[in-house]
Amino acid sequence: MPGRKSDLFFIYLLVSTLLIGLMFVHAGVREHLDMPLLQERAEIVRVLGLSDLCLFTEARYTRHPSLADLGTPFQDHPMALEHFPSGALVPVPPHLKQRTRN
């Protein structure tokens, strides 16, 4: 057992660096192995014409942000507060920020 605290720190640093390196190697191997499945899924999306990716399962305006409308978050009443946590993570789509001209 090493006697100094600095020796323990350097062992910890070495093990941590090795683990981070192994995570990158694992990610590269998994990407290579999963590529046929990803290509198959991409083909299914292309053939079926599926819409955007479902990001959250809470509210419909966070499931497909590009398909949301202006009033969806305020269905209960116009001054309703956001009560879904995912609503704080998803920015408003750019096309909803534009003001309509009448």
The model scores a pTM over 0.75: no
Question: Who contacts 62 (Cβ-Cβ below 8 Å, separation ≥6)?
Answer: 55, 56, 68, 84, 86, 87, 90
Q: Is the pLDDT of residue 38 over 80?
A: yes
CB-CB neighbours of 62 under 10 Å: 22
pLDDT category, 3, cuts 50, 70, 90?
confident
Q: What is the per-residue pLDDT for 73?
A: 57
Kindly report, residue by residue over 52-99, the tens digit of the pLDDT: 666 666 666 666 656 656 665 556 565 666 666 666 676 666 666 666
